[in-house]
């Protein structure tokens, strides 16, 4: 029977809960807001299946030769609505066109990230865009397994640990299964995201009805968090100033397992890996227009075939995988733990999100504010013709 003695060793993938024949594993939230399995001992029959499928304690080595590509969709609207180059939507559309089912992450009406499935182009739209918070798998593996057994094509997308969880749960290969994972920095706490949403709601006096973590109004490189409220108002702020993105990027609120991730490798269980092609301006500058370029790994024969089928719909170029990941260390290295992470979570129940972020993640926010003030002051001095004189005085 599964027992979590060390939180670093549980990714919250839900494979154990999905496989339990007695349905006696509940995924329970800890004080940080992450889900861990809890076993109802009265119902457990000690069959050992939960331990057998756990992808962390039964790590799989993959022997493959991934190929890397710089890609983006020729459909400009899809590309601008997606986090990087819009490749996820193109693959998902192929699967729907073949009568298949697509699993991905949506934000439900309470702004909780959950895995769900789509059987139509319209339903697919909700999966578009990265949701920077851990999604709840729920019963998604069981549902996907049932579709697979009925010979429906299934595309399952998620973090590398979620794909490992699905494959471990299924315990067999399926020709009709296609998996997409991402280069994964790590997943922030659903509790931290909930606190941020509540803070924004009380600030605006209205409920959040939609969130886009990767709005491209200022470009793909300097993306923005966008929130839409029930009263018609809108919040939009670049990643360097948005308090939630700062807490995420400063590694103050990631799941413990993300700091010792067992799935950081170039030899992955998925068919396709999607990522932002950070560093594209150095590797293939002609493919960088700041609208979003994806780094894509074709990890399997199925993945390579899929990219071939997309050729008319994408702009793509083969790149050297080792050079490409130099600019994206999350592909192979776990995020370091912020030394203030523990204190952040100790205070999460006591402080509103803005105070929490200013207290524990403020360094870069303050530096950005100072830089802005210096730039603004320089502009005024330039306008008044005093910039040269001021520089002399400062020297």
Ligand X SMILES: Cc1cc2nc3c(=O)[nH]c(=O)nc-3n(C[C@H](O)[C@H](O)[C@H](O)COP(=O)(O)OP(=O)(O)OC[C@H]3O[C@@H](n4cnc5c(N)ncnc54)[C@H](O)[C@@H]3O)c2cc1C
Query: Interface with ligand SF4 by CB under 6 A: which residues?
Result: 1-2, 10-16, 20, 22, 24-25, 37, 39, 44-50, 54, 56, 159-161, 165, 184, 186-187, 255, 257-258, 261, 263
Residue 187 touches ligand X, criterion: CB under 6 A = yes
Q: How far is CA 150 from CA 85, 144, 157, in A?
A: 33, 10, 20
Tokens of 350: 């006591």
Question: Which run of H or of E encompasses 247?
Answer: helix 243-249
For ligand X, the binding residue among 66, 129, 160, 256 (CB under 6 A) is 129
Q: Please state the length of the chain.
A: 395
For ligand X, the binding residue among 11, 18, 94, 130 (CB under 6 A) is 130
CB of 19 to ligand SF4, least distance (A): 6
φ, ψ dihedrals at 181, nearest 5°: -120, -175
CB of 19 within 8 A of CB of 48? no
3-class DSSP assignment, residue 339: coil
Residue 12 touches ligand X, criterion: CB under 6 A = no
Residue 294 touches ligand X, criterion: CB under 6 A = yes
Q: Among ligand X, ligand SF4, none, what does residue 104 contact (CB within 5–8 Å per kind)?
A: ligand X
DSSP 75: -
For ligand X, the binding residue among 157, 200, 300, 334 (CB under 6 A) is 157
Residue 316 touches ligand X, criterion: CB under 6 A = no
CB of 229 within 8 A of CB of 235? yes
* Helix, strand, coil percent values for the chain (each to nearest 5): 40, 20, 40
Nearer to ligand SF4, 129 or 186 (CB): 186
CB of 110 to ligand X, least distance (A): 15
For ligand X, the binding residue among 10, 15, 131, 300 (CB under 6 A) is 131
Q: How far is CA 278 from CA 229, 287, 314, 340, in A?
A: 31, 12, 18, 27
Binding site for ligand X (CB under 6 A): 82-89, 104-105, 113, 127-133, 135, 157-159, 180, 182-185, 187, 274-276, 294, 328, 330
């Amino acid at each position: 029977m599964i027992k979590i003695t060390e939180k670093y060793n549980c990714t919250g993938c839900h494979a154990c809960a999905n496989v339990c024949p007695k349905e006696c594993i509940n995924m329970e939230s800890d004080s940080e807001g992450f889900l861990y399995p809890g076993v109802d001992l009265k119902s457990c029959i000690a069959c050992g299946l939960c331990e057998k499928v756990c992808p962390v304690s039964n790590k799989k080595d993959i022997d493959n030769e991934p190929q890397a590509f710089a890609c983006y969709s020729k459909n400009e609207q899809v590309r601008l609505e997606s986090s990087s180059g819009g490749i996820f939507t193109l693959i998902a559309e192929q699967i729907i066109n073949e009568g298949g089912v697509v699993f991905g992450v949506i934000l439900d009406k309470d702004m909780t990230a959950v895995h769900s499935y789509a059987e139509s182009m319209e339903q697919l739209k909700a999966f578009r865009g990265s949701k920077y918070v851990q999604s709840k798998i729920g019963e998604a593996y069981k549902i996907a397994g049932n579709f697979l057994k009925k010979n429906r094509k299934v595309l399952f997308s998620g973090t590398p640990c979620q794909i490992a969880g699905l494959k471990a749960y299924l315990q067999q290969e399926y020709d009709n299964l296609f998996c997409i994972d991402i280069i994964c920095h790590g997943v922030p706490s659903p509790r931290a995201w909930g606190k941020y949403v509540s803070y924004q709601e009380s600030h605006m006096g209205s409920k959040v009805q939609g969130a886009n973590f990767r709005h491209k109004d200022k470009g793909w490189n300097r993306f923005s968090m966008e929130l839409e409220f029930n009263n018609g108002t809108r919040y939009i702020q670049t990643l360097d100033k948005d308090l939630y993105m700062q807490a995420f990027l400063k590694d103050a609120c990631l799941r413990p397992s993300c700091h010792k991730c067992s799935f950081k490798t170039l030899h992955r269980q998925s068919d396709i890996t999607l990522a932002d092609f950070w560093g594209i301006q150095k590797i293939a500058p002609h493919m960088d227009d700041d609208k979003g370029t994806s780094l894509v790994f074709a990890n399997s024969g199925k993945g390579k075939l899929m990219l071939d089928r997309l050729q008319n719909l994408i702009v793509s170029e083969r790149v050297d995988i080792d050079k490409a990941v130099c600019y994206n260390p999350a592909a192979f290295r776990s995020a370091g733990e912020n030394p203030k992470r523990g204190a952040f979570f100790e205070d999460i129940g006591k402080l509103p999100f803005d105070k929490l972020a200013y207290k524990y993640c403020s360094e870069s926010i303050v530096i950005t504010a100072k830089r802005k003030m210096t730039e603004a002051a320089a502009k005024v001095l330039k306008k008044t013709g005093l910039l040269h004189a001021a520089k002399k005085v400062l020297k």
